[in-house]
A and B are shown apart, each in its own frame.
Chain A
Amino acid sequence: AQRVTQPEKLLSVFKGAPVELKCNYSYSGSPELFWYVQYSRQRLQLLLRHISRESIKGFTADLNKGETSFHLKKPFAQEEDSAMYYCALSIFNKFYFGSGTKLNVKP
């Protein structure tokens, strides 16, 4: 069963435009959610996790338990944000990833 759904395979925006990468999860317990990013030729790395409620590189994500969503947002996209983004759900130390969204920020 798909536990994490990222409906958009590709998202293209212009520099300076707002961006929202969607993530929905399927889990009845208290979710532990993350966003990971993979820049070109780099390793996958943590972008942010919902528990810390922090903003990293201008990105934020809010957990909406009612809609079972954890969308990633940034008000003004930059070209250096172009990357592959993965939403992940941790259940009892197992991490389940979505299929990923490729963000392309055009100049």
Chain B
Amino acid sequence: DAGITQSPRHKVTETGTPVTLRCHQTENHRYMYWYRQDPGHGLRLIHYSYGVKDTDKGEVSDGYSVSRSKTEDFLLTLESATSSQTSVYFCAIRSDVGNGELFFGEGSRLTVL
């Protein structure tokens, strides 16, 4: 597996609380992505990053913010979690050389009560 880890792997929280998910890579890849996976919707892009301090919105960015202060870490923050944000969140990384393959983390299951 590519050197990509997500934390926490499981989290239960209450509506209105802030939540931060962390994606850490050891590959020094330029691109990092956050997706959410929901039944019937597949994977939807939340935000992505193309370098330190360089981020852009995806398809479903409302209610989410991200930060990338160093190459290896990409943080996803839910400022005030809602029940609609209950999901499995996947981080992915991608090199800007080679075949452009995405490498995925194991996922973080978030439940908002």
Is B74 engaged at the interface, CB distance under 8 Å to the other chain?
no
> Which of chain A's residues 50-107 have a Cβ closer than 8 Å to chain B?
51-52, 86, 88, 90, 93-100
* Residue B45 CB within 8 A of the other chain: yes
A99 to B40, CA, bound (A): 6
B58 in contact with A97 (CB, 8 Å): no
**Chain A residues touching B, range:** 20 to 34
A95-B92, A96-B45 given; 18 more Cβ-contact pairs under 8 Å: A36-B102, A43-B104, A43-B106, A44-B43, A49-B99, A49-B100, A90-B100, A93-B50, A93-B94, A94-B45, A94-B48, A94-B56, A94-B58, A95-B33, A96-B59, A97-B44, A97-B45, A100-B42
Residues 81-109 (chain B) with a chain A CB within 8 angstroms = 90, 92, 94, 99-102, 104-107
Interface set of A (CB-CB < 8 Å, partner B): 6, 9, 32, 34, 36, 43-46, 49, 51-52, 86, 88, 90, 93-100
For residue A100, which residues in chain B have a CB less than 8 angstroms away from its CB? 42-43
Bound-state Cα–Cα, A52 to B101, Å: 12
Residue ID in chain B nearest A86 by CB atoms: B42
Report chain A residues within 8 Å CB of B107: 43
Per-residue interface assignment for chain B, residues 22 to 49, with 1 indicating a CB less than 8 Å from any chain A CB and 0 otherwise? 0000000001010100001111110010
A93–B47 Cα distance when bound, in Å, is 12
A98 to B90 CA separation, bound complex (whole angstroms): 15
Inter-chain contact B41/A99, CB cutoff 8 Å: yes
Pair B41/A44 contact, Cβ less than 8 Å: no
Q: What is the bound-complex CA distance between A100 and B35, given in angstroms? A: 14
Which single residue of chain B is at the shortest CB-CB distance from A87?
B42
Candidates A52, A93, A98; contact of B42 at CB < 8 Å: A98
* Docked complex Cα distance between A44 and B4 (Å): 12
Bound form: Cα–Cα A49–B43 in Å: 18
Indicate the member of A9, A49, A90, A99 with the most B CB atoms within 10 Å: A99
Which residue from chain B places its CB closest to the CB of A41 in the assembled complex? B106
Which one of A43, A52, A94, A97 contacts B99 once the chains associate, using CB atoms below 8 Å?
A: A52
